[in-house]
Structures are given as C-alpha cells and as structure tokens.
Amino acid sequence: MIHTAATITIPRTEQERKESLTRLSGNQTEPVFRPITDADLPAINQMLQHSSTRTCDYTIGGIFMWIKYFGYEYCVLNDTLFIKGRSENNRELTAFSLPIGAMPLGEAVRLLRNYCERRGIPLLFSAIPEDKVDALAAETGGRIEPLEGWSDYLYDIKAMATFSGKKLSKKRNHVNRFIQDNPDYIFRPLTPELIPELQLFCAGRDLEDKADAEMAAYELDQCMKVLRNYSSYPFEGAVLCTGSGEICAFAIGEVIGDTLYVHIEKMNHEVAGAGEAIVNFFAAYMLNRHPSLRFENREEDMGDPGLRYAKETYRPVALLNKYNVSC
C-alpha cells in the first residue's frame, strides 16, 4: 500500500523491437512478455505518462515496488504498454493491467484474448480504476468484481500541506507538539549522502503493526531496495530530523500530472508528532516544488484495519475504487 545506480539506457534497437513480437497468421501479432528490470524503467515511465488515471498502479512506484509480489512482466507493442502479473486478490491467477497507449482498447482486448486462448488460461484484468471499468467490461463482456481493501485514498494536497480547518485540528496539534519538543528540527531533501543513515533507520524499525506480517516484511524489503537504487527512480523524498540530527521520519513520492503519490513513509513512533509532521511538511515541500499539484494519493490500506483508520483520519476527498474484470 515503495537508490544510487548507474545511468540507465533504453534497450530499443530495431532488432530488439522485432524480437518483442511473435508473428502469427496474417497481420496478427502477439505480445512477448518479459520480466521487468530496472533497465526497463525509462521505457515504462515514458508510457505511464499517457495514463489518465490517478490510481497508484500506473506509476513507477506502483509497478517496480511490486514486481516480485505480483510477478510483473511487460511488453510494449504498437506504442501500447501491456503488463501481466497476478490478481490482487488471488495471486494464483494470471491477470493483466489496463493497456496504456495508442492502441484502441477493443484491439488491445482482442490481442490479450487471443494470447490467453492460445495458452488455455482465462482472460482476467485486475485493479482496473473505477472510471475505466465500464468501458473495459463493454469490450470484454466480462463480469465486474470489486477489489476490497485495494482502494486508493486521495487527498487535497493543499489541505495536507496546511492541516487547516477543524477536521484536521488534531493533526495540526500533533505537528505543533513535534515543533514544541524539537524547536531546532531539521527538514531537508533526501540526498544520496543520507541513504546510509536511512538504511540504518529502516533496519532499526520493528515491522510496524500490520495485520499481514508477510506484506510488512515485503514492504520493508522494497523500501531498502528503493534506497539502494534511489537515484535511478523518478522519485523525490525528504527527511525529518530532531534538533540533535537524529532521523525520526522520511517520505518518498512520485509526481505524475496533478497528483503526488506517496510510496514510502517511515517514522519513529516514539517521537511525538513525527508521523503527522512528515505528512504535513512533505506535502508542503512537494507543493512548493510542483505548484500545479492538486491531489495526494496515499495508496491502499490492503485490508489492514489499523492502516485504514490512520488513512481515514487525514480526511480523504475520495476513495479510488478498483475492480477485477473476468472474461
């Protein structure tokens, strides 16, 4: 419900483009899916800029931090991105994301239907945004199923950057408590020299109270991966320290269009107000850097009651529901 590396180039010679297709009869083509690696990041990121949804599944963080968990593979065919993985609510089932790019939706659906028929597997689309599900169901004639626990929480980023108003007064009080206890606090951008300290900070945290221990362990592993390769990703982050210079919280996010996606947020719960402070300060920092931002996506609760409660206390303006479409 997340980096210092060598420069990445896009592996797109004409020969590689030809190898990405398998020719069938007539003019038909079939996608050839391959595992996603960091070397594929620029090509995928370029395609994601064509996405018109605000759900986190169509971001670099939403894909690359979940490669191992959902077994993501990809193909770019006729200027359209296809992603294959596993269903969010049943990882035994092969599932596809909504195709993104130039290909008409009906054509993309027919291509994937043929792909599945040749392999004897059902065609299933997973985590389809609510505003796209009817069009997809019309093309597939499939059954729509809500994905419980996978809705994204969307917030007004200006509200998150100010905590103004009665509804967020408790959050504002927690921030004021943090400032009162730490008048010399330090809030600064996440830069490469801070990575080793952040790795130690994460390693020293107990797995946070989550209903799913496996998920918590996976998220921690991905957080460490992001830190190891931070400069490879189109992410921006910030770090909060007490007056003594000790890290007490940090956040990492990604901007696409008018939305900030917060992929990672860690804090020391023993420092009063550190959690609310990093939420508030990071939103204000990113809004200052990107004045056109309107929303902040704080991603899913994954069915965790504690996480759901925490997200609800920040007063979301919308829940971005997602669905499976089975054919």
Half-sphere exposure of 245 (CA within 13 A, CB side): 2
Same domain, 126 and 228: no
The domain tally of the chain equals 2
* Strand 295-297 with 259-267, pairing: parallel
| Chain-centroid distance, C-alpha 201 | 22
Same domain, 317 and 190: yes
Give the confidence band of 206 by pLDDT, cuts at 50, 70, 90: low
Of 95, 121, 146, the last residue of a domain is 146
184 lies in some domain:
yes
327 lies in some domain:
no
Checking if the pLDDT of 12 tops 50, the result is: no
Same domain, 130 and 172: no
Residue 47 is part of a domain; what is its CATH number?
Answer: 3.40.630.30
Give the confidence band of 204 by pLDDT, cuts at 50, 70, 90: confident
Residue 291: domain span: 152-321
Q: Residue 174's pLDDT is what?
A: 98
Q: Residue 289's pLDDT is what?
A: 98
8 lies in some domain:
no
Half-sphere exposure of 49 (CA within 13 A, CB side): 7
9 lies in some domain:
no
Checking if the pLDDT of 28 tops 80, the result is: no
61 lies in some domain:
yes
Same domain, 166 and 310: yes
3 lies in some domain:
no
Q: How far apart are the C-alpha atoms of 107 and 29, rounded to whole Å?
A: 11
Say if CB 48 and CB 257 are below 8 A apart. no
Same domain, 189 and 213: yes
Q: How far apart are the C-alpha atoms of 132 and 323, rounded to whole Å?
A: 9
Beta bridge partners of 75: 82
Give the DSSP H/E element, type plus range, for residue 68: helix 67-70
Give the confidence band of 211 by pLDDT, cuts at 50, 70, 90: low
Mean pLDDT value of segment 238-263:
96
**The whole model's pTM is what?**
0.88
Cβ neighbours for 110, distance < 8 A, ≥ 6 positions apart: none
- Show the DSSP H helices in 89-165 as ranges: 105-119, 130-140, 157-162
Please provide residue 60's backbone torsions phi and psi, each rounded to the nearest 5 degrees: -60, -45
Same domain, 28 and 130: yes
Of 126, 146, 166, the last residue of a domain is 146
Please provide residue 240's backbone torsions phi and psi, each rounded to the nearest 5 degrees: -115, 130
69 lies in some domain:
yes
Beta bridge partners of 145: 324
DSSP per position, 10-62: ----HHHHHHTEEE-STT-EEE--EE--GGGHHHHHHHHTT----SGGGSHHH
Of 106, 131, 146, the last residue of a domain is 146
Q: How far apart are the C-alpha atoms of 242 and 310, rounded to whole Å?
A: 23
% of the chain exceeding 90 in pLDDT = 81
Same domain, 303 and 241: yes
Q: Using one digit for the tens of pLDDT, what is the confidence trace for 54-97?
A: 999 999 999 999 999 999 999 999 999 999 999 999 999 999 99
Same domain, 305 and 158: yes
Same domain, 158 and 297: yes
2 lies in some domain:
no
Q: How far apart are the C-alpha atoms of 106 and 112, rounded to whole Å?
A: 10
Mean pLDDT value of segment 220-235:
95
- Where are the strands (E) in 142-298, listed by range? 143-146, 152-156, 186-189, 236-241, 247-256, 259-267, 295-297
Same domain, 128 and 72: yes
Say if CB 250 and CB 235 are below 8 A apart. no
Same domain, 226 and 105: no
DSSP per position, 269-321: TTSTTHHHHHHHHHHHHHHHH-TT--EEE----TT-HHHHHHHHTT--SEEE-
Distances (CA, A) of 270 to 205, 274, 289: 11, 8, 30
Same domain, 126 and 166: no
